[in-house]
């Protein structure tokens, strides 16, 4: 069921309508009237006859016409019953303002569940609870106690009413842009982020989506939807709650899960979302992406009327991964022809006073720069807009001329211009003109850089899109009969952990390099197996009751002679018995010592918000110290696997340092993909830990493998 009747409601009941001017149930009606909402408004309150000139209904069922949406402003405990009434009336959606649900603890969670069940049973979709409300600005359907929000093409989804207020105020004060919708998602009890996203993707009034998130309940569904959405429209997101205190604060705020930031960030970026860390940048980036074309080449030029801003901007853009190439020789020549000799033209371009007498020269420079085929966008920094203020009023006209020219240029060349102006807060007309042509203007250099940087980032994403893959898991598709049987054996055995040989076998079935490990039941058998291997061997205890083999004294390495192997066998078994007298010992693993190479680690686990994820990093003792690891949401593609390896600082070790041969990265990529496949094929897997994996010049060795299954209990049906 689409959200059309909810978010584009043509009739709305205000349940909890009031004549008291400080009450939400009064303000909501007043704003709808003032802003001239085109649909029907039905106040509901058993104690009133009319409010603000509108007839007031005793109950929802008394309303004669159809009702799309109910705004419910009454306290938490009244909601389930009201939703039943709404159901009988055929109401499609409800906005629940009240707090006192899941965010307050167990009691509230119960009430929230009851509310959601009631809504489902009555075919009602819920926005909230614990929300500041919802606005459809094109329809003037304003169910938030906030006037004069500017209309435009940005859809705003926020988990904090204050952040929404900040962003709307910022738009009003500093921009010509505005919003198509605002939804305060509240506790996401029913409608989730991803459903709003899907709606906005299809909404013709929306050109960009701006999100403030503290935590997500269905991260994977969101990623899947985001993956589709960002191909059509940019999505800009700030996620807070990274720090322990931040999480404490978010927890008391909307009861959201403030999940692992690393996973979230890499997943959002893989889905093409522009990830923002500073709240000052959030609206500007959304505004810029909603109206300017993405940069195709990742190459930007800076045009300045003084060195300081240009130098800082160059630093910031470099940090953002944007290239600032030298301009083509021909471009430099043309610039030199119109600028004073002190000007610097390679990029950044510093006009060195050349615009002092005539700032329309900025437009000439901009044109020459945008005509350079390498350059995908232009950042203008400095005083533009202030020449008329600072030097002579007559220059304001020349600035306005330049603004018109630059505005048309952006459209002609389909390359963006972003402007930093020291005088933005003085609101000169030239800057307003630029905004009229969709050129972004900021008085913050940091913000301006982030904006043009985001156009480049979005351009990079769209260009590399074919190398990405969606986040849809494909369970049971690639399971192998032998693997399935193996897992069933473990289940029958009442275990959750696979034995090391079982885990390695499962990997092998799916294409991991064959292991030469064998299990010996007796010391003599161990000697024989070691003889077959014919090199130094490792012995390891095999027991479902001993997960941490080293801790139990259950591992011995580098054994060579028959005597060593025989004694080793005895020692290991003795240690194991001492460690856990009741341990069911299934034998001793006899394995060749892995040849030398680079130690890495691969793990998978289930993230609360995003489901199955994979970790890769440097292995051995260093992993604990250096935390040189990267995370991804599964499944991953070959290019993502490659990228993971490249992102670690230690990736150079695999390239072969100081005369060491390069390692077999292809085998490593294959192993990462295999892990990804395995988690898809066997959704029972909760956790997998290959540590260490030793990557050789040719091939690799999985030295130890641990696989833990989920609890055997069937997963809860429906929503979490």
**Least distance from a second copy to the Cβ atom of residue 571, Å:** 18
DSSP strand pairing (179-184 vs 134-136): antiparallel
- State which of residues 1, 106, 244, 337 lies at the interface with a second copy (CB under 8 A): 244
308 binds a second copy (CB under 8 A): yes
Q: Which residues contact 305 (CB under 8 A, 6 or more apart)?
A: 350, 351, 353, 355, 382, 383, 384
Determine the Cα–Cα distance for residues 540 and 504; give it in Å rounded to an integer: 14
Q: Phi, psi at residue 44, to the nearest 5°?
A: -130, 120
Complex with a second copy: residue 42 or 283, whichever CB lies closer: 283
- State which of residues 80, 150, 246, 553 lies at the interface with a second copy (CB under 8 A): 246
603 half-sphere exposure, CB direction, 13 A CA radius:
18
Angle subtended at Cα 152 by Cα 146 and Cα 155, rounded to the nearest 5 degrees: 75
Residues 95-134 binding a second copy (CB under 8 A) are 99-100
245 binds a second copy (CB under 8 A): yes
Q: What is the CA radius of gyration of the chain?
A: 32
Size of the site for a second copy (CB under 8 A): 80
Complex with a second copy: residue 45 or 650, whichever CB lies closer: 650
Complex with a second copy: residue 27 or 604, whichever CB lies closer: 27
**Least distance from a second copy to the Cβ atom of residue 618, Å:** 9
**Least distance from a second copy to the Cβ atom of residue 650, Å:** 6
Closest by CA position to 472, among listed 194, 666, 117, 257: 194
> What are 14's strand-pairing partners?
43, 71
Residues 599-628 binding a second copy (CB under 8 A) are 621-622, 624-628
610, 633 Cβ separation under 8 angstroms: yes
- State which of residues 162, 489, 561, 596 lies at the interface with a second copy (CB under 8 A): 162
Angle between helices 500-509 and 665-681 (to 10 degrees): 100
Q: Phi, psi at residue 207, to the nearest 5°?
A: -110, -15
Q: Which residues contact 709 (CB under 8 A, 6 or more apart)?
A: 487, 490, 491, 495, 496, 497, 498, 684, 685, 686
**Least distance from a second copy to the Cβ atom of residue 480, Å:** 36
**Least distance from a second copy to the Cβ atom of residue 109, Å:** 16
166 binds a second copy (CB under 8 A): yes
Complex with a second copy: residue 122 or 175, whichever CB lies closer: 175
Residues 7-46 binding a second copy (CB under 8 A) are 22
601, 617 Cβ separation under 8 angstroms: yes
311 binds a second copy (CB under 8 A): yes
Complex with a second copy: residue 482 or 551, whichever CB lies closer: 551
Q: In this structure, how many other beta carbons lie within 10 angstroms of the beta carbon of residue 562?
A: 15
Q: Phi, psi at residue 206, to the nearest 5°?
A: -110, 125
**Least distance from a second copy to the Cβ atom of residue 653, Å:** 5
- State which of residues 13, 366, 395, 447 lies at the interface with a second copy (CB under 8 A): 447
596 binds a second copy (CB under 8 A): no
Residues 630-669 binding a second copy (CB under 8 A) are 649-650, 652-653, 657-658, 660
Residues 454-473 binding a second copy (CB under 8 A) are none
**Least distance from a second copy to the Cβ atom of residue 328, Å:** 16
Token pair 């190439």 is found at: 325
Torsion-angle region of residue 383: left (phi > 0), alpha (psi -120 to 50) or beta?
Answer: alpha
302, 318 Cβ separation under 8 angstroms: no
Determine the Cα–Cα distance for residues 446 and 422; give it in Å rounded to an integer: 12
Determine the Cα–Cα distance for residues 658 and 643; give it in Å rounded to an integer: 24
602, 616 Cβ separation under 8 angstroms: yes
Determine the Cα–Cα distance for residues 550 and 175; give it in Å rounded to an integer: 63
Complex with a second copy: residue 278 or 478, whichever CB lies closer: 278
713 binds a second copy (CB under 8 A): no
Contacts with a second copy, 252-291, as mask; x by CB under 8 A = xxx-----------------------xxx-----------
295 binds a second copy (CB under 8 A): no
- State which of residues 11, 118, 122, 160 lies at the interface with a second copy (CB under 8 A): 160
348 binds a second copy (CB under 8 A): yes
Determine the Cα–Cα distance for residues 296 and 415; give it in Å rounded to an integer: 9
Complex with a second copy: residue 160 or 298, whichever CB lies closer: 160
- State which of residues 1, 106, 173, 716 lies at the interface with a second copy (CB under 8 A): 173
Complex with a second copy: residue 36 or 658, whichever CB lies closer: 658
Residues 409-428 binding a second copy (CB under 8 A) are 422-423, 425-426
**Least distance from a second copy to the Cβ atom of residue 254, Å:** 7
Residues 474-533 binding a second copy (CB under 8 A) are none
Closest by CA position to 17, among listed 118, 129, 53: 53
394 binds a second copy (CB under 8 A): no
**Least distance from a second copy to the Cβ atom of residue 245, Å:** 4
DSSP strand pairing (40-44 vs 11-15): parallel
Torsion-angle region of residue 690: left (phi > 0), alpha (psi -120 to 50) or beta?
Answer: beta
**Least distance from a second copy to the Cβ atom of residue 274, Å:** 17
Residues 671-700 binding a second copy (CB under 8 A) are none
Q: In this structure, how many other beta carbons lie within 10 angstroms of the beta carbon of residue 660?
A: 14
Complex with a second copy: residue 338 or 712, whichever CB lies closer: 338
- State which of residues 15, 445, 533, 538 lies at the interface with a second copy (CB under 8 A): 445
The CA-to-CA distance between both ends of the chain, in Å, stands at 20
Complex with a second copy: residue 9 or 447, whichever CB lies closer: 447
- State which of residues 87, 359, 382, 483 lies at the interface with a second copy (CB under 8 A): 382
Q: In this structure, how many other beta carbons lie within 10 angstroms of the beta carbon of residue 172?
A: 13
Residues 211-240 binding a second copy (CB under 8 A) are 212, 214, 238, 240
Complex with a second copy: residue 624 or 711, whichever CB lies closer: 624
- State which of residues 260, 312, 397, 462 lies at the interface with a second copy (CB under 8 A): 312
Complex with a second copy: residue 116 or 324, whichever CB lies closer: 324
């Amino acid at each position: 069921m689409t959200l059309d009747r909810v978010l584009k409601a043509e009739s709305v009941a205000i349940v909890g309508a009031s004549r008291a001017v400080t009450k939400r149930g009064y303000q909501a009606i007043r704003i709808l009237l003032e802003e001239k909402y085109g649909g029907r408004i039905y106040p509901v309150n058993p104690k009133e006859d009319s409010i603000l000139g509108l007839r007031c209904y005793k109950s929802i069922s008394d309303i004669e016409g159809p009702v799309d949406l109910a705004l419910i402003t009454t306290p938490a405990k009244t909601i389930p019953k009201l939703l039943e009434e709404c159901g009988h009336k055929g109401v499609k959606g409800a906005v629940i303002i009240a707090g006192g649900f899941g965010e307050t603890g167990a009691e509230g969670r119960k009430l929230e569940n009851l509310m959601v069940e009631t809504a489902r049973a009555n075919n009602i979709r819920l926005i909230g609870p614990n929300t500041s409300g919802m606005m459809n600005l094109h329809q003037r359907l304003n169910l938030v106690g906030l006037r004069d929000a500017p209309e435009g093409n940005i859809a705003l989804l926020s988990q904090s009413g204050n952040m929404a207020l900040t962003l709307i105020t910022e738009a009003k004060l500093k921009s010509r842009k505005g919003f198509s919708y605002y939804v305060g998602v509240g506790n996401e009890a029913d409608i989730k982020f991803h459903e709003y996203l899907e709606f906005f993707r299809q909404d013709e009034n929306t050109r960009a989506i701006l999100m403030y998130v503290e935590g997500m309940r269905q991260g994977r569904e969101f990623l899947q939807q985001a993956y589709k959405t960002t191909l059509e429209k940019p999505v800009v997101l700030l996620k807070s709650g990274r720090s322990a205190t931040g999480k404490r604060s978010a927890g008391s705020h909307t009861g959201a899960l403030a999940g692992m930031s690393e996973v979230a960030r890499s997943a959002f970026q893989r889905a093409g979302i522009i990830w923002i860390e500073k709240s000052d940048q959030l609206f500007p980036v959304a505004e810029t992406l909603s109206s300017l074309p993405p940069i195709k080449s990742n190459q930007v030029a800076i045009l300045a009327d003084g060195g300081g801003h240009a130098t800082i901007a160059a630093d910031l853009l470099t940090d953002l991964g944007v290239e600032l190439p030298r301009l083509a020789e021909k471009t430099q020549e043309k610039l030199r022809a119109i600028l004073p000799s002190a000007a610097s033209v390679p990029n950044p371009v510093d006009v060195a006073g050349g615009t002092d007498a005539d700032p329309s020269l900025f437009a000439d420079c901009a044109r020459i720069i945008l005509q350079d085929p390498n350059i995908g966008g232009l950042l203008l920094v400095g005083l533009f807009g202030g020449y008329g203020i600072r030097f002579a009023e007559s220059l304001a006209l020349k600035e306005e001329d330049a603004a018109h020219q630059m505005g048309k240029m952006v459209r002609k060349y389909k390359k963006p211009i972003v402007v930093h102006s020291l005088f933005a807060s003085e609101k000169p007309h030239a800057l307003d003109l630029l905004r009229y042509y969709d050129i972004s203007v900021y008085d913050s250099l940091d913000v301006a850089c982030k904006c043009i940087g985001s156009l480049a980032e979005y351009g990079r994403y769209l260009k590399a899109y074919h190398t990405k893959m969606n986040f849809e898991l494909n369970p049971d598709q690639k399971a192998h009969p032998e693997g399935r049987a193996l897992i069933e054996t473990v289940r029958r055995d009442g275990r959750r952990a696979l034995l090391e040989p079982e885990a390695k076998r499962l990997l092998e079935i799916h294409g991991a390099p064959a292991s030469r490990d064998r299990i010996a039941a007796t010391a003599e058998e161990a000697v024989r197996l070691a003889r077959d291997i014919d090199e130094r061997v490792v012995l390891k205890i095999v027991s479902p009751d001993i997960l941490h083999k080293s801790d139990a004294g259950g591992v011995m390495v580098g054994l060579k002679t028959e005597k060593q192997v025989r004694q080793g066998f005895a020692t290991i078994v003795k240690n194991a018995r001492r460690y856990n007298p009741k341990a069911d010992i299934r034998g001793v693993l006899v394995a060749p010592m892995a040849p030398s190479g680079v130690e890495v680690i691969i793990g998978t686990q289930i993230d609360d918000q995003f489901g199955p994820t994979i970790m890769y990093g440097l292995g051995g003792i260093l992993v604990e110290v250096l935390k040189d690891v990267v995370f991804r949401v599964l499944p991953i593609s070959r290019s993502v696997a490659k990228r993971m390896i490249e992102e670690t600082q230690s990736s150079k070790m695999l390239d072969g340092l100081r005369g060491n041969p390069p390692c077999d990265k292809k085998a490593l990529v294959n192993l990462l993909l295999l892990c990804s496949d395995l988690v898809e094929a066997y959704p029972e897997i909760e956790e997998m830990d290959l540590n260490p994996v030793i990557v050789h010049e040719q091939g690799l060795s999985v030295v130890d493998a641990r696989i833990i299954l989920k609890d055997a209990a069937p997963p809860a049906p429906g929503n979490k």
